[in-house]
Structure 1
Amino acid sequence: MGSTYRVKAVSALNNEIKIPTQIAKDTGIRTNHISKVLSELKNEEIVECINEEAKKGRLYRLTSTGQEIADEMK
């Protein structure tokens, strides 16, 4: 999966649904980096946005693949 940012983001979303700001706060990653990380993870079908139409307050969660990865990381 690669970078420590991606690993931290997946860990932060383990069994949870969060907005990017909360993921940033939980991981210590700056908000401007989180959107890029989430975008990459989304392209790899590791995370999904469950309210894509929202301009603010988008909610992200792990896909089943992402959850398997998070479980393996424990």
Structure 2
Amino acid sequence: MTEEKIWSLIGFLEVSPARKKTFKAIGDAEYILPSNICRKTDLTSSQVSNALKDLKNKKLVVCLNEEVSKGRLYKCTDLGLEVLTKLK
């Protein structure tokens, strides 16, 4: 991944406090539930849901069990982990 692309993704995170908090809450965890993200960040479930959708679209996070409607597990992708190391 180019430096320019990484900085572009960091800008994408910085403009939305909910996205940034959600992304940092996932961090380098093996997996995390959206409800746990809500508890860690004090964000509402709809804020976390919207942030996760945006983060998935940018390939920063992945859902490990997309086929279920409850109990979805999320983790950072390799790209997400690369961005996470530069994010303050």
- TM-score, normalisation: structure 1: 0.92
Q: Which has the larger radius of gyration?
A: 2
Q: Which runs of 5+ in 1 are unaligned?
A: none
Q: Deviations over 1:11-60 (max 9, x none)?
A: 11111110111011111111111111100110110110000111110000
Aligned residue pair count = 74
In the alignment, the residues of structure 2 paired with residue 64 and residue 51 of structure 1 have an alpha-carbon distance, to the nearest angstrom, of 18
Q: Which consecutive residues of structure 2, in runs of 5 or more, have no partner in the other structure?
A: 1-11
Identity of aligned residues (%): 35
Alignment partners' CA distance in 2, 1:40 and 1:26: 19
Match of 2:26 in 1: 13
Higher relative contact order (CA 8 A, sep 6+): 1
Q: Name the one with the larger helix percent.
A: 2
Residue aligning to 2:73: 59
- Runs of 4 or more consecutive aligned structure 1 residues displaced over 3 Å after TM superposition: none
- TM-score, scaled relative to structure 2: 0.79
